[in-house]
Amino acid sequence: MVSVRSVVDRVGPTLLHALQVPDDSPAVADVVIAEPGGALTLSAGDLVLGVATTGPEDAAELVKQSAGQGAAAVLLKPPLAAKPAVKRAAKASGIALIQVHAATSWAQLVWLLRTVLDALADESEDLDPGSGDLFRLADAVASVVDAPVTIEDTNSRVLAYSARQDLTDPARVATIMGRRIPDDVLARFRSRGVFRELSRGRQTIFVPAQRDGTLPRLIVPIRMGGELLGSMWAVVAGPVSDERAAAFADAAPVVALHLLRRRAHTDAQRRASAELLRGVLEGRANPRKAMAELDLSDEPHRVVVIEVTGGDGRDAEGLRLALLERISQGIGSRPVATELAGLLYAVVPDRPGPGGWAELRQALAAQPATRRGGAPRAAAGAPGGIGDLSESRAQADEALGLLRAEILRERVIAFDEAWTALTLHRGATAAAAARVADLGPLSTLRAHDESGKAGYVETLYEWLRHPGDPRAAARELRIHPNTLRYRMRKLLELVPLDLDDPDVRLALLTQLVAIRWS
């Protein structure tokens, strides 16, 4: 059964947004265009495209007629889809209502929907059009522009390339070999404003030859629904005629459809993997099944929790995803990752080599602060088997709590390395719950500090932490050792304490740790 929801998910939010999908929607069968002024003849499960619908009344009537003939959904562009009368009609009729991005071509949408339906109808078929299709498409585009071509995503990763790459230059060869534009070449193109022009929506961009021997490039952005999906790069001998440039640009919508299909497949796989991983981290999923479906190796793994600050809502989600993309570019393989409660969780092998915790840790530590917030914080649970991932997640969360509270100065920490801080924190939490700090004379010192800011509690804490070493205690307090001795004399005049008694010292430390660490 092909559901309306699965079709919307596969096509993706770039083109479709579900305004209403009833739980009992019929299975989707085909795509039908509602012709202007013509009789509406539908079959059960049709997706009805309101191509020529002009007003809310017409749209509401189309919704009612479609529901009456058993259609699965009506697809409309804004602002019609969101009109109250249209939404009421859809709700009353029990039919799904889908909004289509305003800039989407109806013809391209029909082609894409039928492709998705064909793939979904046969679950054994891979929705991804396959690198083979993209490579054949690159060859076709290359014949149009008469130059070797690469098709790249928005991160400058090569998705496909045409034949005749031997006629290019070292920069292109390095791009093909590394499957992305090398950093130094990327920097040169960026300095010439190439990527700025791509984001502005130019139809074609010509980049002249460079002094280092890099040949000219003709670049076309690949867009759909106003969103930049990637770009096509042709290595040319020199300036290109307007006719050839236009023919090159005309191929972009076809490539866009392939990239959307590819992304829909990737997104669907990623959503399924993320949901399965969430089940594992919460202790709900079968570990062995997860190991097979998430392609996890049979070795100890760690759960790493990553907190990105500086945004909220969709903005924060974008920051987390951008961080994962940046990390993935610098390490051996993309971690298995998901989001939970606004945090990014990744599962990585506990190994020093590529794709392991050591490499991920190094990549995280190298991440700079964002313009909208601080640098990311990350904590890893202790290593264990696949069945121990939920426990590793709890450990990672506990270690992250120490980073958030600034108890630890690091930005990236492992649970098993932070045992001293964790021991003190757990002990302090238990002691604080028992209200041990309310016992004895410590409350007098605290009250005195609050009224006169004498710093007696801090002074006593550092004195006890550095027994017999007043200079070290004074350094922690950033005061002169004589000032430390003076404070201790005044403190003992205020509350008589036998600091020669080891039990008194131990009890005071327990109280002070409860205050500072809980």
User: How far apart, in whole angstroms, are the C-alpha atoms of residue 457 and residue 445?
Assistant: 6
pLDDT digits (tens, 9 = 90+) for 474-499: 998 899 999 999 999 988 988 888 98
Q: Which has more pLDDT, 133 or 250?
A: 250
CA dist 64 and 210 (Å) reads 61
Q: Are 461 and 472 in contact (CB under 8 A)?
A: no
Provide the CATH number for the domain formed by 130-261 in this structure: 3.30.450.40
**Would you state the pLDDT for residue 413?**
92
**What pLDDT sits at residue 366?**
77
Whether 147 has a pLDDT exceeding 80, the answer reads yes
Read off the pLDDT of residues 180-195 as tens digits, 9 standing for 90 and up.
Answer: 788 888 888 888 888 8
**pLDDT tens, 31-67?**
888 876 667 888 899 999 998 888 999 999 999 999 9
Residue 332 CB coordination number (10 Å)? 12
CATH pick for 282-417 out of 3.40.50.720, 3.30.70.270, 3.40.1010.20, 3.90.1150.10: 3.30.70.270
Greater confidence (378 vs 211) lies with 378
* Distance in angstroms (rounded) separating the CA atoms of residues 281 and 266: 22
Q: Tell me, what amino acid is at 511?
A: Q
Q: Which residue spans within 295-398 are E strands per DSSP?
A: 301-307, 336-340, 343-349, 377-380
pLDDT at 131 over 50: no
Which phi and psi angles does 179 have, rounded to 5°? Answer: 60, 20
- How confident is residue 338, by pLDDT bands cut at 50, 70 and 90? confident
Q: What are phi and psi of 306, to 5 degrees?
A: -125, 130
Residue ranges per structural domain of the chain: 4-121, 130-261, 282-417, 436-517
Local structure of residue 434 (DSSP, 8 states)? T
pLDDT given for residue 310 in this prediction: 56
**Could you tell me the two tokens for 425?**
């924190």
pLDDT by residue (tens digit) across 405-457? 888 888 899 999 889 888 888 888 888 888 888 888 888 888 888 887 778 88
CATH topology assigned to domain 4-121: 3.40.1390
